[in-house]
Chain A
Amino acid sequence: MDENNLLEIKSLSVGFLTHSGFLEAVHDIHFTIPQGKTVAVIGESGCGKSLTAHAILQLLSATCRIVRGSHIYWKEQDLLTLPELGMRKIRGGELGIIFQEPMTSLNPVYTIGEQLKEAIQQHKPCSRKQSHIEAIALLNAVGFPEPALQLIRYPHELSGGMKQRVMIAMALAGEPDLLIADEPTTALDMTTQAQVLTLLQSIQRAFKMSILLITHDFGIAQQLADHVIVMYAGQIVESSSIDHFFEKPLHPYTQQLLNAVPGIEKRHHRLAVIPGVVLPLTEKITHCRFAARCPHADKICWEKEPQWNLLDQNQRVKCHLYDKHYPVKKKVIEVSFNSASLITKSAADAKSLLTISNLKIHFPVRQGLLKRKRSFVKAVDGVNLTLYEGRTLAIVGESGCGKTTLAKGILRLLPISGGGIHLNDQDLAQLSLRRFRHYRQQLQIIFQDPYSAFNPRLRVSDIILEGVRTLQKKRNLFQEESLLQSLLEQVGLPQDSADRYPHEFSGGQRQRIGIARALAVSPRILLCDEPTSALDVSIQAQILNLLVDLQKERNLTYLFISHNISVVSYLAHEIAVMYLGRIVEYGDAKTLLESPKHPYTQLLLSAVPTIKKPKEIVIPVKINHTDLPSAANPPQGCHFHPRCPFVMERCKQEYPGMVALNPSQKVACHLYEN
C-alpha cells in the first residue's frame, strides 16, 4: 500500500436484501484516497456513490449488507474487521461525514451548541468550559458570524447554508483526516452552494485533510477535486486526474454525460442523449454494464466484462475501446446539429402574446386575538413581463423568490392581489374564476416534482385526457383515442402506456406524461416550473430536447422557471432575474448572460460552478450578508442592499426603478440610474 494513501478500498461490494433477491448496488470497486487530496465520485442517482460513502463509515441501513471479501483499509487497518466499539472511535473522529440534507440532518430539539459539544466530547474528553471554547472556535472556522451568540440557537432558526456549516463544524470536531461530503450542496441554493464549496476548499487547506466528494455535478467536481471517479450501475468505469478528465474523457458514458450537460455554448445543438435505462442489478452480470446504451457497443462488450485499461499514470478506464486485445472500433458519434437553431426570430419581429403588468400576489398573515389580517407576505410584488409567441422566457431566481407563485398566479390557482394579465386583448386578471375557465385551455403547466404531479389512482389515459373531457361538452371516444395516441407518440412514450398507472414509470417518463397532459388541450403557453430539476443530467437532456422540439412543432410559448443557469442558458430567449418578489433584471438571454448588470445577477452567474471555468475560481462579488432575507419581511429600500457589495446610501432608502440600458436589457439598480 502506498504510504501516502489514507484510505484504500479493495473489491468492495455492497447490496440490499430485497423481495426479489440480493441487489448488489455496488460491485467490486477499488479506489484510494491520498493524503490531503480531494477525490470526487461522480454518477447519476442509483449508481451506488452514496452507498459507497456510507459503507466506509458503516452507516448502512438494516437491509444493507457488505459482501464478504470486501476490504476498506484506513491507515492500513481494515475497517470491516474492526469491532463496533473501535469503529465508533474512528467514526466522527478521524473520519468525518456531512450529508446532503442539512435541513433534516440536525436534531431539531437540541441547540447547535449542544450538538457541537456532543461531537467534541465524544472524541476528546474535556471540561464543559473547554468544549464551549472549542465549539466557538469551530463555528468561527466555518464562517459563522458572532459564533458565541449562535450556540444557543436551534437548527430551525438557521438557514440551509448555516445548517450545512454546522454540519461541517461537527465533522471537524473530531479533527478528521478524511471528510466525506455526500452531495453537500445539492439541497442548497446557488449562492449558498458557492459559499459552502469555497468553505470546503479553505478548510481543506487549513486542516490539511482529504475530502471524498460525492456529487452528480461535474462543475462542483471541477472546482474541488484533484481526482475524479465515475460510477455507473455500481461499478467504477473511469478514474482520472482532474486535468485529464475534462480534457479527454475516456469512457463512452462519461463522454455522453458531459455532452448532455446543457449550457450556452450548446444552444444550437441538440443535447446528447443516452438511450435506454440502467440494467437491473439483481442478476449476475458478466458483460459490460453500459453495453446496451453505448453507441460503440460491439460483440465483445456483450460477452466479456471489460478490464481496467491504464492509459497513463493518472487515467484508467473500464472499456473495451481501450483494450488492445479486442478489435472494438470507435464509431463516430454524430452530434446532430439542428439545422434550425433555437433562435428563430429576433425579439423585434416576435409578436407579444401574454403581457403581465404590475402583477401582485400577496398572502395575508393573520395575527392577534381575532386573527385579523395584520400584514402581507408580498410573494410577487409588481412584476412586469411580456411573453412573445413561439419564444421562451426564463425566470431565474433562488428558492423563495416567488417564481413558482408567479406561475400559479398567472394560472389563477392563487388569488391575485392586483395588476393585469393580458392575453391578446383580454385581461385575465379581471375575469371571474367562472369566466376564466374558458381561457384555461390556453395556459398549461408542467410541474417540478414528477412524483406528486399525478393522481396515483388514475390511469395515464385518464390523466392525459382529463382536460379534454372537462372542456368538451360531449365525449367523442374516437377522437380521444387518436389524440391520446398522437400525444404519446409526440412525447416519446410507448403506445401501451395509456392503460398503466403513474407509479409504473420512471421520473423522466413521468415528466413526459406531464408534458402530454399539458399539451392535450392544445395550449398556446406552457408554464414550465423547474421541469428538470428533479431529474438526472442524462434524463434532463431528453426532456430539454423534447421541449425544444415541441416548441418548434407547435409554435409554443414557454415561461420557463428555473434556478439552474446552465439549463436556462441553453433554452431561453429572454431571461428575467427575480429577487424577493420583483424582477431585478431582464434581457435578451445572450446579452444578459454575457454582461450581467445587476449585482445579484452577477452574483448568481459567478456562483455556478461550470466545467469551463478555470480551476481556482474566486467569487468576484463578495457577499456582505449570507442569508437570503424572507419575503415576509424584505429589507427597506432595494431588497438586495444588505447583500450588495456596491451598496450606497440611496439603496437603503428607496427601491430603484427599472432602467433600460439598451433595447434588449433592463435593470432595476441605482448604479445605472442617472
Chain B
Amino acid sequence: MLYIVRRIAYAIPILIGVNLITFALFFMVNSPDDMARVHLGNKYVTEQEIDNWKEERGYNEPPFYNSQSIGIERYTHTLFFEKSLSLFAFEFGISDGGRNIGSDIKQRMFPSLAIAIPILLIGLLADITVAMLMVFFRGSYVDTVGVISCVVLMSISALFYIISGQFLIGKVLQLVPISGYYDSWLGLKFVILPVIVGILSGIGSGARWYRTLFLEEINKDYVRTARAKGLSEIAVLYKHVLKNALIPILTGIVVLIPTLFMGSLLLESFFSIPGLGSYTIDAIHQQDFAIVRSMVFLGSVLYILGLVLTDIVYTVVDPRIRLS
C-alpha cells in the first residue's frame, strides 16, 4: 500500500514538469500575440484586433505575475495559473475555436475506445498466437518464413495499410464503408476495417518481439526441468514458457491501457471516427493550441497512470516482486 502511495507521490513532480514544459512551449517560445497573428492572418492585422482576440480567449494576462491585481490574485490572474495549473483540476477551458474542450473530450473518448480496445485485445491474441506458432516450429522453415514475413510486415508504412485497406476492401470490394462512424451496434461495420488495419500494422513487430521473448525463456533451466518431468512440448510451451513470458508482455501492455483513451491519430483521421485522435489531429491542422495543450497534459496523466498500473500489475503477476 505504501508502495503505491509512493509511486503516486512520485508522479506529481513529473506532472509538474510536464506542465512547465507545455507552458514554456506554448506561451514562452511564442507569445499569445504570435498566436493571434497566426489565427487572424499574418499581415495587415491591427493591434486592436490582436487584443480583442486575446481578450476573448483570456490570453491577455501576464505569464507569471500580475502586478495590476491585488493579493493572491497577483498569482491567480496569470496565464500560468489559469491556463496551465488549472489543467491539474482537469479544467481544460475553451478552445481557440470557442468550444468547451472538457465536454468535447468526454464525448469523443468513447469512439476512440471502440477502435482502440479491440485492436489491443485481438491484436495481442493474434501476436501471441503467431509468435507461439513460430516458436513451436522453431528452426524449421515455418519459423524462417514467419520471421521474414514479420520483418517485411514491419517495414511497411502504417499509411500503406490504411490507404490500401480502404482502397481494396472499401472501394474495390465494397465490403465495408470506407469511413464514418455510427454510435451504436449498427456502427460495427464502420469499426471492422480500422480494427483489421490496426492489428495488421502491428503484427509484424509484435509477433517478432514476442517470439524473441519466448525463445529467451525456452532456453532457461526450468524449461528443461519441465521436459524432464515428461511434459509434452505443447504443455511446456503453454504452461511454463507462456506464463513467464507473459510478465514482460502484460506489463508492456498495461502502460498502454490508459493511453487508449487518446485514440489513434492516423486511424481515426483516415476513417473519420469522431474520437480524440482525430480531435487532436484537427486541432494541429487548425493550430488550435488550447486543444493541443490539453491533449498533451491528458496524455501525460494517462501515461503516468499507466506506469503506476504497471508497477501494481508487476507485483500481481510476478511472485518474485511483492509489495514491500
Contacts and interface: CB of A to CB of B under 8 A. Distances in A.
Contact between A and B in the complex (any CB pair below 8 Å): yes
Interface of A: 57, 59, 62, 88-93, 96-97, 99, 101, 104-111, 118-119, 122-123, 154, 156, 167, 170-171, 173-174, 368-369
Contacts of A91: 227-230
A369 B247 CA distance: 26
A57 B225 CA distance: 11
A57 B224 CA distance: 11
Given A59-B227, A118-B229, A369-B5, 16 more contacts: A62-B139, A88-B231, A88-B232, A89-B230, A92-B230, A97-B228, A104-B220, A105-B221, A106-B225, A107-B222, A109-B244, A119-B229, A154-B320, A156-B320, A170-B225, A369-B9
A508 to B, nearest CB: 26
B6 interface: yes
A104 B221 contact: yes
Interface in B211-247: 220-222, 224-232, 239-240, 243-244, 247
A88 B225 CA distance: 13
A462 to B, nearest CB: 34
Contact of B228 (A57, A111, A123, A369): A57
B220 to A, nearest CB: 6
Contacts of A93: 230
A108 B231 contact: no
B118 to A, nearest CB: 28
A93 B317 CA distance: 31
A104 B2 CA distance: 31
Given A88-B230, A109-B247, A119-B229, A99 B319 contact: no
A92 B226 CA distance: 9
Nearest to B220: A104
Interface of B: 2, 5-6, 9, 138-139, 220-222, 224-232, 239-240, 243-244, 247, 317-320
A92 B221 contact: no
B245 to A, nearest CB: 10
Contacts of B229: 91-92, 118-119, 122, 170, 173-174
Contacts of B225: 99, 105-107, 167, 170
A109 B318 contact: yes
26 contacts: A59-B228, A62-B138, A88-B231, A91-B230, A92-B230, A93-B230, A99-B221, A99-B225, A99-B228, A101-B221, A105-B224, A106-B222, A107-B222, A107-B243, A107-B244, A108-B318, A109-B244, A118-B229, A123-B230, A154-B320, A156-B320, A167-B225, A170-B225, A170-B229, A174-B229, A369-B5
B233 to A, nearest CB: 8
Nearest to B324: A367
Contact of B319 (A90, A96, A154, A167): A154
B221 A109 contact: no
Main secondary structure of the interface of B (DSSP, over half): helix
B74 to A, nearest CB: 33
B226 to A, nearest CB: 7
Contacts, number: 80
Most chain A CB within 10 A, of B138, B226, B239, is at: B226
Nearest to B317: A109
Contacts of A89: 230
B319 A118 contact: no
B91 to A, nearest CB: 29
Contacts of B231: 88, 92, 118, 122
A107 B230 contact: no
A105 B221 CA distance: 5
Nearest to A87: B230
A287 to B, nearest CB: 36
Contact of B2 (A97, A106, A122, A368): A368
B248 to A, nearest CB: 12
The 3 closest A-B pairs by CB, nearest first: A92-B230, A92-B229, A104-B221
Contacts of B9: 369
A108 B5 CA distance: 27
B8 to A, nearest CB: 11
Nearest to A107: B222
B127 to A, nearest CB: 20
A105 B230 contact: no
Contacts of A99: 221, 224-225, 228
A122 B227 CA distance: 11
Most chain B CB within 10 A, of A92, A123, A154, A173, is at: A92
Nearest to A156: B320
A109 B319 contact: yes
B224 A59 contact: yes
Given A99-B221, A109-B247, A369 B2 contact: yes
B192 to A, nearest CB: 36
Nearest to B230: A92
A106 B244 CA distance: 12
Contacts of B139: 62
Contacts of A90: 230
Contacts of A119: 229
Contacts of A97: 228
Contacts of B247: 109
Contacts of A167: 225
Nearest to A173: B229
Given A62-B139, A106-B222, A369 B319 contact: no
Contacts of B224: 59, 99, 105
A104 B230 contact: no
A88 B138 CA distance: 20
Nearest to A167: B225
B220 A109 contact: no
Contacts of B2: 368-369
A97 B319 CA distance: 26
Contacts of A110: 240, 243
A458 B22 CA distance: 46
Contacts of B317: 109
Contacts of B5: 369
A96 B225 CA distance: 10
A449 B230 CA distance: 35
A203 B43 CA distance: 94
Nearest to B226: A107
A449 B263 CA distance: 51
A107 B237 CA distance: 12
A74 B273 CA distance: 67
B283 to A, nearest CB: 39
A210 to B, nearest CB: 17
Contacts of B243: 107, 109-110
A165 to B, nearest CB: 14
A174 to B, nearest CB: 7
Nearest to A154: B319
Nearest to A63: B139
Nearest to B321: A156
A123 to B, nearest CB: 7
B3 to A, nearest CB: 10
Contacts of B221: 99, 101, 104-105
Nearest to A170: B229
Nearest to B217: A107
A57 B243 CA distance: 25
A123 B319 CA distance: 28
Contacts of B222: 104-108
A154 B224 CA distance: 18
Nearest to A370: B6
Nearest to B243: A109
B228 A108 contact: no
A108 B244 contact: yes
